[in-house]
C-alpha cells in the first residue's frame, strides 16, 4: 500500500492524499476529497473525486480491465483518461476467469507456545467449551409462538427476576418468521432445524426453552429425535396448544425460566485459553476504505487468534465473489478449495434462477462510499480472513468443528449471515463498517470497527474501535493487536457498544430458502 502525497508530520497541509494499493493498479483511492483541476497521484483530476472513491492514473481503453489491489474490479465502459473519476458510470461488472490454484500456497502457522498463550475469563460448559456470555434463551419452532416467547421474556423483566441472578447476562427471546408452510424434507427445514439447535448449543447459552404452537410443520419432537435430545434442567420444551393457551403458556414458561436462571447463576467466569474463542467475521455498510483499513486490520487480528489455536469464520459468500481464488490458494487441500468453488457455482445458479446478478451487491450505500462492483467489494471483504491456511468450509449454520481460519456459506445480508455463524458456534463477533451499520447480536457480543475516523466520531455510541487512523499512519499490525486485545476484554465480560445500546434481540434471522406454501 503506497500513500501518495501525504505531507510529513507537522508540515502544512499538502495536496490531497491518495492511495495506490498495488504497483499494477491503474487507479488510486482518494483519502481526501480531490477537487477538479487539483493534482493528486501524479494526475490532474478531471472531476471532483469524493473521499473513498477512485481516480484513474493511466489511460484505460474501452473494454480494458480496471485494477485495484492488483486485481480486476471491472472493465472500462468507454475510453478513460487519466484524472477521471472511476465509478458506476464508466466501470462495468463482468465475470472474470480466475485461476483457483487449489492448495498451492504453503501456509504454516507459527503457533504461540502453550505456556505463552493469551487467556480470557469465560464460562465453562459441561462439554468443555467456553462461553463469553451466560444467557438463558427462549427459542421458537414457528412464528406462531413468537409473541408468546416475547411475552415470557417481557414478564421476566417486568418482575425483576434477573436481579437475583447476577451471573446471568439476560433472558432473550429469539424469534423468527417461518417454521410452517415449507418443504419439510428439503433444505428450508434442514436449515431452520440446524440453526435452532445451533443456538441452543452455543456456548454463550446456559439454558434454553423452546416454545412451539403444536400443529406447525417444524415439530419440536422431530428436532429432539433428530439430535437425540431429552428434557433436562437446562433444556425444556413446551407448546401453546398442549399447555392450554397463551396465558397458561406464558406462566409455565416464566416458571421454567426461573428454574433455569438458578442453574445458570451457578456458573462463574474462569480462566480459559484464547484457543476457545470462535470469532465470527462480518462487514456491513462497507465503503472505499473497508478493504484498506478495518478489514485488513481485522485480518491481522485473525492471524493472531489462529496462532493462539483459535478459530475465525469468514462468511457472506456473495461478498467473496471474485476473490475466491485468493482463498482457494490457501486451502489445506484441494478438497477444501473445491468445496468453496462448488458453493460459488451454487450462488451463480441461485441468482440466475431469481433473475438477479451477483453484482446486485454492492448496495446504494456501498456505492456512495466509493465501491463500484462486487469484485471490488469482495477483494476488500476477503481481507478480514487474514493470511493463514483455510482449514475448512462449512454449510450454513453447520457446527464448526475445526480450528483455524474457516469459511461458512451464508448470504451477504448481515443479520442472516451472523445468525448462521452463531449457530455454528461463534462466541464472539467482529463487525467492520464504513457507512455506520447499526447492529448487535445476542447471545454473541458484537464489536464494531469503524473504517474511517469520520464515521467513528459521528457514531461514537455505536463504534468500539477506530481503524480510520490507519489512513493517518497507524500500522495495520498495531491496529490488529488492538483489536485482538479488545476481543479478549469483551470475551472476559467487558460490554461492547452494541451491548450497551441493547442490540441483539431482533437480529436473529435464519436464512429462509425455498418456497413458502
Cα gap 131→179, rounded to integer Å = 28
Express the helix, strand and coil content of the chain in percent, nearest 5 each: 35, 20, 45
- Read off the pLDDT of residues 52-91 as tens digits, 9 standing for 90 and up: 999 999 999 999 999 999 999 999 999 999 999 999 999 9
Q: Alpha helix locations (H) across 459-496? A: 476-491
Cα gap 430→281, rounded to integer Å = 5
Q: Where are the domains of the chain?
A: 1-92, 123-264, 277-501
From residue 512, alpha-carbon distances to 161, 349, 419, 506 in Å are: 35, 17, 12, 16
Quote the cell numbers at residue 311: 478459530
Quote the cell numbers at residue 388: 493463514
Residue-level pLDDT at 13: 63
E-strand spans in 323-415? 390-394, 404-408
Dihedral of alpha carbons 474, 300, 274, 206, sign? positive
Of 439, 446, 408, 433, the closest CA to residue 509 belongs to: 439
Q: How confident is the model at residue 9 (pLDDT cuts 50, 70, 90)?
A: very low
Report which secondary-structure segment, H or E, holds 193: helix 187-201
Residue-level pLDDT at 18: 97
DSSP labels for 139-158? EESSGGGHHHHHHHHHHHHH
Average pLDDT over residues 494-516: 94
Cα gap 132→79, rounded to integer Å = 54
Q: How confident is the model at residue 95 (pLDDT cuts 50, 70, 90)?
A: confident
* 8 Å CB contact between 420 and 408: yes
pTM to 2 decimal places: 0.96
Going by C-beta distance under 8 Å and a sequence separation of 6 or more, which residues neighbour residue 395? 408, 409
- Arithmetic mean of pLDDT over the chain: 95
Encode burial over 330-359: b for 16+ CB neighbours within 10 A, e otherwise. Answer: bbbeeebbbbbbebbeebeeebeeeeeebb
Does 1 score more than 60 pLDDT?
Answer: no
* Residue 58: how many other CB atoms lie within 10 Å: 14
Residue-level pLDDT at 360: 86
- Read off the pLDDT of residues 308-331 as tens digits, 9 standing for 90 and up: 999 999 999 999 999 999 999 999
Q: Which long-range contacts (CB under 8 A, 24 or more apart) does 105-111 make?
A: 105/329, 105/330, 105/389, 107/330, 107/387, 107/388, 107/389, 108/389, 109/306, 109/307, 109/388, 109/389, 109/404, 110/307, 111/307, 111/308, 111/309
Quote the cell numbers at residue 247: 396465558
- Read off the pLDDT of residues 251-271 as tens digits, 9 standing for 90 and up: 999 999 999 999 999 999 999
Quote the cell numbers at residue 13: 497541509
Please give the CATH architecture assigned to the domain spanning 1-92.
Answer: Roll (2.30)
Cα gap 218→210, rounded to integer Å = 12
- Read off the pLDDT of residues 127-158 as tens digits, 9 standing for 90 and up: 999 999 999 999 999 999 999 999 999 999 99
Q: CATH code for 123-264?
A: 3.40.50
Dihedral of alpha carbons 382, 383, 385, 389, sign? positive
Does 6 score more than 60 pLDDT?
Answer: no
Does 7 score more than 70 pLDDT?
Answer: no
Cα gap 517→515, rounded to integer Å = 6
Q: What are phi and psi of 287, to 5 degrees?
A: -140, -175
* 8 Å CB contact between 319 and 374: yes
Q: How confident is the model at residue 2 (pLDDT cuts 50, 70, 90)?
A: low
Range in 180-189, 287-296, 344-353, 466-475 the model is least confident about = 180-189
Cα gap 508→73, rounded to integer Å = 33
Residue-level pLDDT at 158: 97
Residue-level pLDDT at 12: 43
**How many residues does the structure list for the chain?**
517
Does 185 score more than 90 pLDDT?
Answer: no
Q: How confident is the model at residue 11 (pLDDT cuts 50, 70, 90)?
A: very low
Amino acid at each position: 500500500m503506497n500513500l501518495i502525497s501525504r505531507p510529513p508530520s507537522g508540515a502544512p497541509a499538502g495536496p490531497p492524499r491518495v492511495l495506490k494499493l498495488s504497483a499494477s493498479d491503474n487507479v488510486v483511492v482518494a483519502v481526501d476529497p480531490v477537487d477538479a483541476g487539483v493534482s493528486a497521484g501524479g494526475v490532474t483530476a478531471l472531476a471532483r473525486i469524493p473521499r473513498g472513491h477512485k481516480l484513474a492514473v493511466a489511460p484505460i481503453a474501452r473494454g480494458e480491465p480496471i485494477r485495484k489491489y492488483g486485481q480486476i474490479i471491472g472493465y472500462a465502459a468507454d475510453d478513460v483518461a487519466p484524472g477521471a473519476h472511476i465509478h458506476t458510470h464508466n466501470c462495468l461488472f463482468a465475470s472474470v476467469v480466475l485461476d483457483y490454484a487449489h492448495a498451492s500456497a504453503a501456509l504454516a502457522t507459527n503457533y504461540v507456545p502453550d505456556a505463552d498463550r493469551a487467556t480470557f475469563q469465560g464460562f465453562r460448559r459441561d462439554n468443555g467449551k467456553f462461553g463469553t456470555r451466560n444467557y438463558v434463551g427462549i427459542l421458537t419452532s414457528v412464528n406462531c409462538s413468537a409473541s408468546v416467547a416475547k411475552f415470557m421474556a417481557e414478564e421476566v423483566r417486568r418482575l425483576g427476576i434477573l436481579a437475583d441472578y447476577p451471573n446471568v447476562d439476560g433472558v432473550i427471546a429469539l424469534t423468527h418468521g417461518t417454521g410452517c408452510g415449507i418443504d419439510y424434507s428439503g433444505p428450508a427445514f434442514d436449515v431452520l432445524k440446524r440453526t435452532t439447535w445451533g443456538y441452543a448449543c452455543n456456548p454463550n447459552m446456559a439454558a434454553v426453552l423452546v416454545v412451539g404452537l403444536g400443529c406447525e410443520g417444524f415439530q419440536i419432537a422431530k428436532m429432539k429425535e433428530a439430535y437425540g435430545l431429552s428434557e433436562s434442567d437446562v433444556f425444556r420444551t413446551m407448546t401453546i396448544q398442549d399447555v392450554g393457551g397463551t396465558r397458561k403458556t406464558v406462566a409455565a414458561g416464566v416458571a421454567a425460566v426461573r428454574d433455569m436462571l438458578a442453574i445458570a447463576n451457578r456458573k462463574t467466569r474462569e480462566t480459559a485459553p484464547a484457543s476457545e474463542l470462535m470469532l465470527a467475521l462480518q462487514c456491513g455498510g462497507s465503503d472505499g476504505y473497508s478493504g484498506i483499513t478495518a478489514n485488513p486490520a481485522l485480518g491481522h487480528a485473525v492471524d493472531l487468534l489462529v496462532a493462539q489455536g483459535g478459530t475465525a469464520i469468514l462468511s457472506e459468500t456473495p461478498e467473496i465473489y471474485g476473490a475466491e481464488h485468493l482463498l482457494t490458494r490457501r486451502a489445506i487441500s484441494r478438497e477444501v478449495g473445491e468445496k468453496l468453488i462448488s458453493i460459488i457455482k451454487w450462488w451463480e445458479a441461485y441468482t440466475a434462477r431469481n433473475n438477479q446478478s451477483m453484482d446486485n451487491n454492492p448496495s446504494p450505500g456501498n456505492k456512495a462510499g466509493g465501491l463500484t462492483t462486487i469484485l471490488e467489494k469482495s477483494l476488500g471483504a476477503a481481507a478480514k480472513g487474514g493470511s493463514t491456511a483455510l482449514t475448512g468450509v462449512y454449510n450454513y449454520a453447520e457446527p464448526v468443528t475445526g480450528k483455524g481460519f474457516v469459511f461458512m456459506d451464508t448470504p451477504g445480508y448481515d443479520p442472516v449471515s451472523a445468525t448462521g455463524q452463531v449457530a455454528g458456534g461463534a462466541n464472539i463477533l467482529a463487525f467492520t463498517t464504513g457507512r455506520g451499520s447499526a447492529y448487535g447480536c445476542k447471545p454473541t457480543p458484537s464489536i464494531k470497527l469503524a473504517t474511517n475516523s469520520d464515521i467513528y466520531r459521528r457514531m461514537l455510541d455505536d463504534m468500539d474501535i477506530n481503524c480510520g487512523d490507519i489512513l493517518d499512519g497507524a500500522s495495520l499490525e498495531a491496529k490488529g493487536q488492538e483489536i485482538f486485545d479488545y476481543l479478549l476484554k469483551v470475551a472476559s465480560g467487558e460490554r461492547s457498544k452494541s451491548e450497551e445500546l441493547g442490540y441483539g434481540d431482533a437480529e436473529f434471522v435464519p436464512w429462509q430458502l425455498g418456497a413458502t406454501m
